[in-house]
Amino acid sequence: MVRKKKLLAALAGETQAVPPIWMMRQAGRYLPEYRATRAQAGDFLSLCYTPDLATEVTLQPIRRYGFDAAILFADILLVPQALGADLWFAAGEGPRLSTVTTPADFDRLSGPDDIHDHLAPVYETVRILSRELPPETALIGFAGAPWTVATYMIAGRGTPDQGPAHALKAENRPLFDALIDRITAATIEYLSKQAGAGAEVIKIFDSWAGSLTGEDFDRYALAPATRIVAELKRRHPGLPIIAFPREAGERYIGFARATGADCVALDNSVSPDWAAANIQTDGCVQGNLAPSYLVTGGSALIEQTRAIVRAFSNGPHIFNLGHGITPDANPDNVGLMIEAVREGAG
């Protein structure tokens, strides 16, 4: 009998004694082998667009730790670039993009169906990975959610409070809505190609969902996610989808039901016991160890890992962090975390 991959079983609603494990940013700078391949690529974007090297860094954490899932190595900002924005990574400063703040800027963007030549190397990476991964490892494709992607396109960089995006929304609502609509349509085409190339699960990263409140949350976090999920499931029946409305707080409640997502990923501001009682009742949840424990390690890491496993042990759960692992994390602590999950809630 062929057993279902652990990640897919959790997403299908199965409660497992030992939850599947993977980590956001599991291919990243905390790993010496990642830093070596990135140096070989020359820069971050070349790494993203060279299928053999992107495949290599995707596989590195699987080889080292045997995670239950691999996540495609790419970035949420490849979609704006495919739509025509300039994109570069200033060393030590994070991403920089040309901005979209006027109707003329918007009119220069390409259409949602015109992104595929630019993104072809990403689809090729997915195809290679789907051949090369161990049979028990699930392959996750991903994109940024429209609001989060829009915050970078409008500001031209990361911002602490997403101020420029909120300002455009207030000053020129039709332009803001048109941008969200364009990103949503492009994201559907992008993710659909990833699924066609072999991605078995899709994750939508709304890293800045927490700065949307009230009706704005409904319009710009819930509604675009709902549209993406519905269209992907229409084109790829049964495709499981993880939504990550980071720092949504109380708005995590009902998010999976409202959007049709199979799982919500929880950030580490949410208490596991509260989430088990209020969110896991709707189905699978993913999360939510604070990444800082992988820097500090020790008994606090073991205890918090066990507490999370225990809190979610009565329903479907995917063990993960509440946000991406940081470059200063100790790779040995990742091993300790995995041991603590796999030995059970003890």
Q: Is 190 a catalytic residue?
A: no
Q: Name the one range near ligand CP3 by CB under 6 A: 27-35, 120-128, 164-172, 265-273.
A: 27-35
Indicate left, alpha or beta for 332 from its phi (over 0: left) and psi (-120 to 50: alpha): alpha
Closest CB to ligand CP3 among 29 and 310?
Answer: 29
Whether the Cβ atoms of residue 206 and residue 245 lie closer than 8 Å to each other: yes
Measured CA to CA, the distance from residue 225 to residue 238 in angstroms comes to 17
Three-state DSSP class for residue 96: strand
Q: What type of residue is 14?
A: E
Whether the Cβ atoms of residue 343 and residue 19 lie closer than 8 Å to each other: no
Whether the Cβ atoms of residue 123 and residue 78 lie closer than 8 Å to each other: no
Output the six-digit token pair for 166: 């909120």
Among 5, 6, 38, 182, binds ligand CP3 (CB under 6 A): 38
Closest CB to ligand CP3 among 251 and 311?
Answer: 251
Among 65, 205, 312, 319, binds ligand CP3 (CB under 6 A): 205
Among 25, 182, 193, 227, binds ligand CP3 (CB under 6 A): 25
Measured CA to CA, the distance from residue 201 to residue 179 in angstroms comes to 26
Binding of ligand CP3 by 56 (CB under 6 A):
no
Shortest distance (Å) from residue 87 CB to ligand CP3: 10
Could you say which of 25, 182, 227, 251 is catalytic? 25
Judged by CB under 6 A, the number of residues near ligand CP3 is: 21
Among 11, 53, 71, 154, binds ligand CP3 (CB under 6 A): 71
Shortest distance (Å) from residue 15 CB to ligand CP3: 26
Shortest distance (Å) from residue 316 CB to ligand CP3: 21
How far is C-alpha 15 from the chain's CA centre?
23
